């Protein structure tokens, strides 16, 4: 299967002006009434993606899995889990999306396999098994305790004792998610073959799950204590993960993955999940940009919703980007509380405008275009073990994973059966069907913005320059070739009159609000409460 590796990296790849939409397949559309979204459901909804105007879809995992972590515990990387469909369904889905010019990005989960993966079954069968070294096995520490103090992100120690072979294995997440040993060349080769399998089928790239965990300290040194730990924080926050994650050898492994992709002429994208502050992201682009194309940038999600810290985060990221590296922005995903719950409905519109007008590739989480909020889950319906393992600590991710509300029928058009989680949308009001008919809805606004972004190169690929402004508002310029666009965002629920250098006159191209008869702005720009504007200068 190996081909001559020659870099196909282009100076101006397709994903520079793409908008990526994340689908969590369990919650998008059920086609067979079992209450779980599936690939045929996604095929049924394919027109929605083109109607909305996104360019690529990143699918959370649909591979064979016991579903302890709902697909992030893979037991066969080379097949589709029966709850999601078959490989034939996948091929059809890919064809249907490609026919609409929508690219397909898969979730690649290289740090760990399910404990049900045949590799792990062999590995745990005896210390002499040839696959023993495919995972991270260690003798017990003093008094039979775990080899070190590393904490699992799903609660408890990162080490699980195997009574039969009297060693511990490492799991950064659930004990059913066993960490692979990427230092073993056979593991790398097997995992590269996984990439080739899907690339041969025609996919357009990958998002690497938990890439920062791929290489741990070979000496297994303890993680140091976190001086900022507070009672009520989850137990894994007791330590700073300097030895259990983000080690110096990771980029070698990422470079190997990147080389596999570069053998394919269609410019596959390599995104990697990194949860790092702006200052720490840059190394993941790799020396001479041979690493991730887009290390995910979550910083806007963590920043207090105030002008100064938002500007600081944007400026800091722009400042640390290596020459030629391309930025990206994330406002939500299947692990984070919904943006509309964090900011409220009015500011969720501003957040969407910010996401779609910054320089860089936006990654948009399904349902955020509807302004979905976190759904309160009754205790007997909680599904996520990351939450139920740590009761009372608010770690569960079910609230942001609820099914998409398509219409106002009882199960919202998502399923004819019993949905695996309560439907999102908090009752009628936020459904796709209803919002499509409403020109002022969040969905219509998002669609308009996506169309404008596609039409206006200053927005998709222009430079970004902050403009000085007083108070709780943001102003910046986007410029490309001859076109200049100003963006103004009111971060508060109050009327504002702003005077912004460089935005002295221009035509309103877009507003989060109705703006009849006020299409031209003068030196003083009036912004309604929570209003955002895009102005052609």
Show the tokens assigned to 316: 């800091």
Q: Which does 34 bind (CB under 5 to 8 A by kind): Ca ion, ligand NOJ, none?
A: Ca ion
Three-state secondary structure call for residue 224? coil
Q: Which does 38 bind (CB under 5 to 8 A by kind): Ca ion, ligand NOJ, none?
A: Ca ion
Taking CB atoms, the residue at the shortest distance from ligand NOJ is 72
Long-range contacts of 512-516 (CB under 8 A, 24+ apart): 512/349, 512/350, 512/353, 512/445, 513/440, 514/440
Between residue 193 and residue 212, which ones bind ligand NOJ under the rule CB under 6 A? 209-210
Q: Is residue 465 within a helix (H) or strand (E), and if so which, with residue range?
A: strand 463-466
Least CB distance to Ca ion at residue 85 (A): 8
**Per CB under 6 A, 109 contacts ligand NOJ:** yes
Give the residue, chosen from 8, 14, 17, 32, that forms a contact with Ca ion under the rule CB under 5 A. 32
Beta strands in 201-354 (DSSP E): 205-208, 269-272, 294-295, 328-330
The reply to whether 492 belongs to the active site is no
Number of chain residues interacting with ligand NOJ (CB under 6 A): 9
Site string for ligand NOJ, 373-412 (x = CB under 6 A): ----------------------------------------
Which residue reads 């596999």 in tokens? 260
Distances (CA, A) of 333 to 42, 47, 167, 195: 18, 22, 36, 23
CB nearer to Ca ion: pick between 34 and 280: 34
Taking CB atoms, the residue at the shortest distance from Ca ion is 38
CA pair distance 424, 79, nearest whole angstrom: 29
CA pair distance 72, 380, nearest whole angstrom: 23
CA pair distance 228, 226, nearest whole angstrom: 5
CB nearer to Ca ion: pick between 34 and 472: 34
Q: Which does 210 bind (CB under 5 to 8 A by kind): Ca ion, ligand NOJ, none?
A: ligand NOJ
**Per CB under 6 A, 335 contacts ligand NOJ:** yes
The reply to whether 128 belongs to the active site is no
**Per CB under 5 A, 36 contacts Ca ion:** yes
Q: Which does 30 bind (CB under 5 to 8 A by kind): ligand NOJ, Ca ion, none?
A: Ca ion
Which residues face 485 on adjacent strands? 478, 536
Contact 253, 291 (CB under 8 A): no
Site string for ligand NOJ, 242-271 (x = CB under 6 A): ------------------------------
**Per CB under 6 A, 180 contacts ligand NOJ:** no
Q: Which does 271 bind (CB under 5 to 8 A by kind): ligand NOJ, Ca ion, none?
A: none
Measure the N-to-C terminal CA separation of the chain; round to a whole number of Å: 52
Least CB distance to Ca ion at residue 39 (A): 9
Choice among 179, 209, 368, 398 that is catalytic: 209
**Per CB under 6 A, 69 contacts ligand NOJ:** yes
Choice among 69, 262, 273, 456 that is catalytic: 273
CA 315, 316, 319, 320 torsion: positive or negative?
negative
Phi then psi dihedrals of residue 142, to 5 deg: -55, 145
Nearest to 342 by CA among 391, 257, 399: 399
Beta-strand relationship, 294-295 and 269-272:
parallel
CB nearer to ligand NOJ: pick between 151 and 460: 151
CA pair distance 201, 205, nearest whole angstrom: 11
CB nearer to ligand NOJ: pick between 55 and 400: 400
**Per CB under 5 A, 209 contacts Ca ion:** no
Q: Which does 404 bind (CB under 5 to 8 A by kind): ligand NOJ, Ca ion, none?
A: none
**Per CB under 5 A, 34 contacts Ca ion:** yes
Least CB distance to ligand NOJ at residue 512 (A): 30
Q: Which does 32 bind (CB under 5 to 8 A by kind): Ca ion, ligand NOJ, none?
A: Ca ion
Show the tokens assigned to 412: 């919202």
**Per CB under 6 A, 173 contacts ligand NOJ:** yes
**Per CB under 5 A, 38 contacts Ca ion:** yes
Nearest to 482 by CA among 457, 449, 519: 457
Residues 6 or more apart whose CB falls under 8 angstroms from that of 421 comprise: 27, 375, 377, 381, 383, 398, 401, 402, 403
Q: Which does 336 bind (CB under 5 to 8 A by kind): ligand NOJ, Ca ion, none?
A: none
CA pair distance 447, 353, nearest whole angstrom: 11
Three-state secondary structure call for residue 434? helix
Positions touching Ca ion (CB under 5 A) are: 30, 32, 34, 36, 38
Catalytic residues: 209, 273
Positions touching ligand NOJ (CB under 6 A) are: 69, 72, 109, 173, 209-210, 273, 334-335
């Amino acid at each position: 299967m190996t081909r001559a590796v020659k870099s196909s990296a282009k100076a101006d790849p397709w994903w520079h002006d793409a908008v990526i939409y994340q689908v969590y397949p369990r919650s998008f559309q059920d086609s067979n009434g079992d209450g779980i979204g599936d690939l045929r459901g996604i095929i049924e909804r394919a027109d929605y993606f083109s109607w909305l105007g996104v360019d690529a879809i990143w699918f959370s995992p649909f591979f064979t899995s016991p579903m302890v972590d709902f697909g992030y515990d893979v037991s066969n990387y080379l097949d589709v889990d029966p709850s999601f469909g078959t490989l034939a369904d996948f091929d059809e889905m890919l064809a249907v999306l490609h026919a609409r010019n929508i690219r397909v990005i898969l979730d690649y989960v290289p740090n760990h396999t399910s404990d049900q993966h045949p590799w792990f079954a062999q590995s745990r069968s005896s210390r002499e098994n040839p696959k023993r070294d495919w995972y991270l096995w260690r003798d017990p520490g003093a008094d039979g305790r775990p080899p070190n103090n590393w904490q699992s992100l799903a609660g408890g120690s990162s080490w699980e004792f195997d009574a039969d072979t009297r060693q511990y294995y490492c799991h950064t997440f659930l004990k059913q998610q066993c960490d692979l040993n990427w230092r073993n060349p056979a593991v790398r080769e097997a995992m590269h073959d996984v990439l080739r399998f899907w690339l041969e089928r025609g996919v357009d790239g990958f998002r690497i799950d938990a890439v920062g965990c791929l290489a741990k300290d070979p000496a297994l040194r303890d993680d140091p204590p976190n001086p900022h730990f507070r009672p009520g924080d989850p137990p894994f926050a007791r330590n700073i993960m300097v030895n259990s994650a983000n080690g110096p050898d990771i980029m070698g492994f990422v470079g190997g993955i990147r080389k596999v992709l570069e053998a394919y002429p269609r410019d596959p994208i390599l995104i990697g999940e990194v949860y790092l502050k702006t200052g720490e992201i840059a190394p993941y682009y790799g020396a001479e940009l041979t690493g991730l194309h887009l290390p995910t940038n979550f910083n806007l999600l963590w920043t207090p919703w105030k002008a100064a810290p938002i500007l600081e985060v944007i400026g800091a990221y722009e400042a640390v980007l290596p020459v030629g590296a391309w930025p990206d922005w994330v406002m939500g995903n299947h692990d984070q509380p919904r943006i509309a719950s964090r900011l409220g409905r009015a500011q969720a519109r501003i957040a969407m405008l910010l996401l779609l007008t910054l320089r860089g590739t936006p990654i948009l989480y399904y349902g955020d275009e509807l302004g979905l909020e976190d759904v309160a889950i009754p205790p007997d319906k909680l599904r996520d073990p990351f939450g139920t393992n740590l009761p009372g600590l608010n770690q569960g991710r079910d609230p942001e994973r609820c099914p998409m509300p398509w219409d106002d029928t009882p199960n919202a058009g998502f399923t004819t059966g019993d949905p695996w989680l309560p439907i999102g949308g908090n009752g009628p009001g936020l459904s796709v069907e209803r919002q499509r008919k409403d020109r002022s809805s969040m969905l219509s606004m998002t669609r308009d913005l996506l169309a404008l972004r596609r039409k206006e190169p200053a927005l998709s690929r222009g430079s970004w320059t902050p403009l000085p402004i007083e108070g709780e508002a943001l102003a910046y310029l986007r410029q490309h070739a001859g076109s200049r666009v100003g963006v103004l965002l009111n971060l508060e629920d109050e009327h504002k009159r702003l005077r912004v250098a460089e935005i002295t006159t221009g035509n309103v191209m877009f507003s989060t609000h109705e703006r009849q008869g006020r299409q031209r702005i003068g030196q003083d720009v009036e912004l309604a409460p929570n209003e955002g504007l895009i102005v052609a200068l």
